[in-house]
């Protein structure tokens, strides 16, 4: 508890929530393009998707269809994620300190993985609605008119299980966050040690706090590392969460089989271009807002 009554859990949750809102509002249109590409079996390019959305679905406003569930999903996910991650990490840290040890890469990986799994289970219903709204225009037959409308239609047509479509590949995708945070924490530690060594080497006091440039570079490297390893699961999850998934696919394994048979290895990387274009700016916004919000609240102590 801080002198202003802020607990560390509150600080982490608020910083994560703020980061989720900021990144979603900034980059929602790119998320729509990526989702459309991931859900398509046809060979389409990003530019063609952009043209079709703009001309057929209502101009610029069409690129913000599904914004509500996306904001709800991202803000809630990041808030819960950082809360769970910091709690698990501190529990492991205390365990290590009692034995005179420091945190290992595996500790960061497991803490991040546990937080990611819990967050995925709690927020999957939001992502189902968001994916369906982003994958179709508002005038398409059966399209959800709003977040609440989507929730009602899913419950009536598919029941509770409908809200958890794509959960299995999403849980596999937890490895993405685990790998990213493992790399992020280790790179932060290395950079901090580098600044400390610089201070000792120069024989004068150097600001050892990481700068925005540091967070920019560290978040980029960690995201590229994790993304290059785990991208295919996003394609599988998107295919399972589309409107026609119940008819086309029997499950995650069936998606895997069909994509491999019809589209080959390239099918698992559809949308990778716009995803890479989107993912780094999203990562920069998320982590810069998170670190600066957390730093600002901590400065009030």
Whether the model pTM is above 0.85? no
With a CB cutoff of 8 Å and minimum separation 6, the contacts of 80 are 13, 16, 115, 118, 119, 122, 123
Measured CA angle at 27 (ends 22, 32), to 5 deg: 135
Q: pLDDT tens-digit profile of 146-155?
A: 888 889 999 9
Consecutive sets of 10 residues in the chain, 301 residues long: mean pLDDT of each?
Answer: 63 90 87 75 71 82 83 89 91 92 91 93 89 78 84 92 87 86 93 81 66 94 86 83 80 90 88 75 91 85 60
Overall fold of domain 8-299: Mitochondrial carrier fold (1.50.40)
Q: Give Cα 60 distance to the centre of its chain.
A: 24
Contacts of 206 (CB under 8 A, 6+ apart): 195, 198, 199
Are 291 and 285 in contact by the 8 Å Cβ rule? The answer is no
142, 185 Cβ separation under 8 angstroms: no
- Give residue limits of the domains in the chain: 8-299
């Amino acid at each position: 508890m801080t002198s202003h009554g802020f607990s560390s859990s509150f600080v982490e949750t608020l910083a994560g929530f703020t980061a989720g809102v900021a990144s979603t509002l900034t980059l929602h249109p790119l998320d729509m393009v990526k989702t459309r590409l991931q859900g398509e079996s046809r060979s389409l390019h990003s530019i063609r998707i952009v043209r079709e959305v703009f001309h057929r679905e209502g101009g610029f406003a069409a690129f913000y269809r599904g914004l509500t569930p996306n904001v709800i999903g991202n803000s809630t996910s990041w808030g819960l994620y950082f809360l769970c991650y910091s709690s698990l990490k501190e529990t492991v840290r205390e365990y290590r300190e009692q034995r005179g040890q420091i945190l290992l890469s595996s500790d960061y990986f497991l803490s991040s993985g546990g937080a990611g799994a819990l967050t995925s289970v709690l927020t999957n219903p939001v992502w189902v609605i968001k994916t369906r709204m982003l994958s179709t225009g508002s005038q398409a037959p059966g399209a959800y008119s709003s977040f609440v409308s989507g929730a009602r239609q899913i419950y009536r047509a598919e029941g509770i299980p409908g809200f958890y479509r794509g959960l299995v590949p999403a849980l596999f995708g937890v490895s993405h966050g685990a790998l990213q945070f493992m790399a992020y924490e280790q790179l932060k530690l290395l950079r901090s040690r580098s600044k400390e060594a610089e201070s000792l080497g120069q024989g004068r006091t150097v600001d050892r706090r990481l700068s925005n440039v540091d967070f920019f570079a560290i978040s980029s490297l960690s995201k590229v590392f994790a993304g290059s390893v785990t991208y295919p699961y996003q394609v599988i999850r998107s295919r399972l969460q589309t409107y026609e998934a119940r008819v086309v696919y029997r499950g995650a394994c069936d998606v895997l089989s069909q994509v491999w048979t019809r589209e080959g290895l390239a099918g698992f990387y559809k949308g990778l271009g716009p995803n890479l274009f989107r993912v780094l700016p999203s990562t920069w916004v998320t982590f810069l807002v998170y670190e600066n919000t957390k730093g600002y609240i901590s400065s009030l102590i």
